[in-house]
Amino acid sequence: MNWKHIIGGVVVGVAASYIAKEAISKNSGLSSEQVLYIAKTAFKEKGSINGSWINMEKETLHTVDSSFTVYRGGITRMNGDTQEVFEFVSDSETGKIIDINQLS
């Protein structure tokens, strides 16, 4: 077997793997853990966080203008001596918080 064929095959295999990885990562957006980290960072600006959660399954949120693929999650934080509980909805592609609902 010719070494040029072996090296050529390896190069083609590596290139195909890289292209496949890039295509998958572009279509998948952010992971739920990454979105939760972004939300926690935003909430930390106004108080320390006691707890957090995120639904790991994506949902589709329909608005009048468009549809978003989103994650739902929650944050518990202290504001002085008062505990505040928030539910949030974040875009799964960018991590941007779309909606916040204060539960207590």
Task: Quick: pLDDT tens for 48-88.
Answer: 899 999 999 999 998 888 888 999 999 998 888 889 999 99
- Token code pair at residue 5: 């064929």
pLDDT-derived band at 93 (thresholds 50, 70, 90) equals very high
Q: How many residues does the chain have?
A: 104
pLDDT at 10: 54
Sign of the Cα pseudo-torsion (64, 66, 71, 75, in order): negative
Mean per-residue pLDDT over the chain, rounded: 82
Task: Quick: pLDDT tens for 6-57.
Answer: 665 555 555 556 565 555 555 568 999 999 999 999 988 888 899 999 999 9
Long-range contacts of 33-37 (CB under 8 A, 24+ apart): 34/95, 35/71, 35/73, 35/90, 35/92, 35/95, 36/71, 36/73
pTM of the predicted model as reported, rounded to 2 decimal places: 0.70
